[in-house]
């Protein structure tokens, strides 16, 4: 039996290949946008955590601020890491997918 790429799959296989070649960059761009948006939302949640614990006066403010500051910093660190991943993903996966849009591998 011939390797799968040499087998004639008929018009359905050809249509499937064209569909995948045309939609792959859009799929990758959607994944990239999701990574970046999640990173931005996580950073905003980190800032909001610090603001809610340290700026809003409560009877237990010292305890609240001591707890919310490290929690917010953790959220911010994770969010900036996600934003870095989004930048790496864009440069190494999204851009090459658009450069080869509709072309060969």
Assigned domain for 19 exists: no
For the stretch 67-103, what's the b/e string if a residue is b when 16 or more beta carbons lie within 10 angstroms of its beta carbon?
ebeeebeebbebbeebbeebeebbeeebeebeeeeee
pLDDT higher at 5 or 32: 32
Assigned domain for 74 exists: yes
Assigned domain for 32 exists: yes
6 alpha carbon, distance to own chain's centre? 36
Which tokens hold the place of 71?
A: 């929690």
pTM listed for this prediction: 0.71
Number of domains in the chain: 1
pLDDT of residue 11: 77
pLDDT higher at 65 or 9: 65
Q: 60 falls in which pLDDT band (50, 70, 90)?
A: low
Question: Which residues does 22 contact at the CB level (< 8 Å), separation at least 6?
Answer: 101, 102
pLDDT higher at 14 or 67: 67
Assigned domain for 47 exists: yes
The enclosing H or E element of 76 equals helix 61-89
Range of the domain at 90: 25-99
Assigned domain for 60 exists: yes
Assigned domain for 93 exists: yes
The 10s digit of each residue's pLDDT in 21-59 is: 788 888 899 999 999 999 999 999 999 988 888 876 666
The answer to whether residue 85 scores a pLDDT higher than 60 is yes
């Amino acid at each position: 039996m011939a390797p799968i790429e040499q087998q004639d799959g008929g018009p359905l296989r050809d249509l499937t290949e064209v569909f995948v070649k045309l939609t792959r960059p859009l799929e990758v761009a959607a994944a990239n946008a999701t990574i970046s948006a999640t990173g931005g939302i996580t950073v905003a949640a980190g800032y909001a955590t610090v603001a809610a614990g340290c700026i809003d006066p409560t009877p237990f403010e010292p305890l609240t601020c001591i707890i919310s500051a490290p929690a917010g910093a953790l959220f911010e660190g994770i969010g900036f890491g996600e934003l870095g991943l989004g930048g790496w993903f864009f440069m190494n996966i999204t851009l090459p997918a658009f450069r080869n849009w509709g072309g060969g591998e």
